[in-house]
Structures are given as C-alpha cells and as structure tokens.
Structure 1
Amino acid sequence: MPLHLIKLCVGCDSISDLEEWIEENRAHYRRLGRDFEQTHTTRMVPKRVDELLEGGSLFWVIKGQVAARQRLLDIRPFTDGEGIGRCHLVLEPKVVPVEPRPYRPFQGWRYLAVKDAPRDIDGKADDLARMPEDMRRQLAELGLI
C-alpha cells in the first residue's frame, strides 16, 4: 500500500507560487541545456522508500494548510560536499491541488498514511476546483470545507 510524505513549502504563499518556482527551475535547466528534473533536498532519508515509491506523493503545507501534492518518482540519498547525508526527493513537476486542511508547523517531513491524506480537487467535476485558492483557504480556516 502506498505511503505519502508531508512537508512545509517554505517561502510559498500559494499553489501558484510553487508552480511558478517549478517553471523558473525548468527554464533555468533549459538555458543550461540540461534535462529538467524537479528535486527537493531533505536532511533525513526516509526508511520506508518502497512504500513511498508505490504511488506515494509529497503533500505540501502552504501557509498553515495542506494545499497540494506532487507524486514521488524517486528517492536518492547522497552525501553533500561537507560530508552530511542528505536526500533528493524526485518529484513529478505537476502540482495537484487537494482539499485544504489546517496543519501546524513542524520540522522536516512526516509520513502521511493514505487514509489521512486529503483528496485531490478534480478540476472537471469539483466545485472546489473552480473556487479561487484564497477563498478555499478562508473557507477551510472557518471549518466550512
């Protein structure tokens, strides 16, 4: 059964901020003539890699709410130039909005069971998808969604 990770998206104020950051990195790679691969570097290496790569995602907490996810493609441990063990989380560059849910700040990442993960907002059939992100955020803060 798949397993997910959850992490704070530090520096992003919205899903569109995250998407813009991804596109800026894609453009940077293009200018360098390199193939684009989106990675996020973490200090700790997950122990449950097999479960995470069975369809797991990285869920992003943006401004105190779980707001979006990206599918995990690979997990690559490495040692940086200072001899510190780190990990690249390789992510699908597509950002999928999820039902907003409050989440308190925390350090690093946490495992997130499938049963506890917010569901995707379906852009075709979901009223939440047609709602502006700020409005979804405010309604979630009020406990209305």
Structure 2
Amino acid sequence: MLNIIKLAVGCPTIEVLRERMKHPRVNGHGAVPTRTMPKRAAEVLDGGSLYRVMDGMILCRQPIIGLEACRRPDGTEGTLIVVSDDIIPVQPRTMRPFQGWRYLDPKDAPPDLGQSAGGDGIADLPPQLRRELAELALI
C-alpha cells in the first residue's frame, strides 16, 4: 500500500473540500485532476489514500478508488485520481507547499483523528483549534 499527498489549492477547510468534490465525478465518485499517472499505481490502488494539504496543513484523507486517464482542457493527457466521498480528518500536520503530488509512505502519514494512543481527545476539539495547536507543534 502507498498513499499520495496533494495540495488542495484554494481550499481552506474540509467543508470547502466537500463542496469541491461534487465536480468532476467519475462513476459516482469524486475525482481529482492531475497531470501524471503514478508509476506505482498498483501500490496506490492497494488500499492507498489521497492526503490533502490545505493552507499549509495536512488535514484529511480520502481512500483512492481508481486512477483514470483523461484529456485535460488544454488537450494534453492527464489523470483523474478517483476517490471515495468519505473525507477522513487526520491529526493536523504542517506541510510546506510543493507542486503536483508526492507519494506518502504509510509510516509517514498522520493518523486519523481519534486513532492516537490514549484517547487524547484531539478529535473533540474544534477544527480551528486543532489547526492552531498543530501550527504551534503542540499536537
């Protein structure tokens, strides 16, 4: 299994991402356009997720359902990363901007909220407070 991480440019919150994921759709699922097809597609399709960076923070993930070749508006070949509509919040982690997407090894991925040892209650905090604590490296 291998994950992908990608910026959600212009998308500051999970709620905005939910709205954005309504288009485009592929076979009833959300799709994220990108330029290149992952060379390690088999590993990505073996249970990988698309982790999303919003305003400098990894905030959530979506299980990857498929990868589809497509034609981009400029006529070039592209790829749609087909994802589940389930948007799973993760423990916020700061992330510097980058172009395109990157592979994200499962051992380097932030845990889902509520999955940390000891039931620390982070999932119960308001999203903005979680973000601020993560920016201060307190969670």
Asked if Structure 1 and Structure 2 have the same fold, meaning a TM-score greater than 0.5 normalized by the shorter chain, the answer is: yes
Q: Give the helix-richer structure, 1 or 2.
A: 1
Matched, 1:17 2:16: yes
Alignment match of 1:70 (pick from 39, 62, 70) = 62
SS at match of 1:10: coil
Which residues of structure 1 form unaligned runs of 5+?
none
Amino acid of the structure 2 residue aligned with 1:142: L
Alignment match of 1:111 (pick from 92, 103, 120) = 103
TM-score by length of 1: 0.85
Report % sequence identity: 41
Q: Deviations over 1:93-117 (max 9, x none)?
A: 1100001111000000000001000
Which residues of structure 2 form unaligned runs of 5+?
none
Alignment match of 1:39 (pick from 31, 53, 67) = 31
Q: Which runs of 4+ in 1 moved over 3 A?
A: 79-83
TM-score by length of 2: 0.89
Q: Is the deviation greater in 74-83 or in 102-111? A: 74-83
Alignment match of 1:130 (pick from 113, 124, 128) = 124
Number of equivalences: 136
RMSD: 2.2
Alignment match of 2:82 (pick from 90, 109, 120) = 90
**Residues of 1 paired with 2:58 and 2:114: CA distance?**
16
Bigger CA radius of gyration: 1
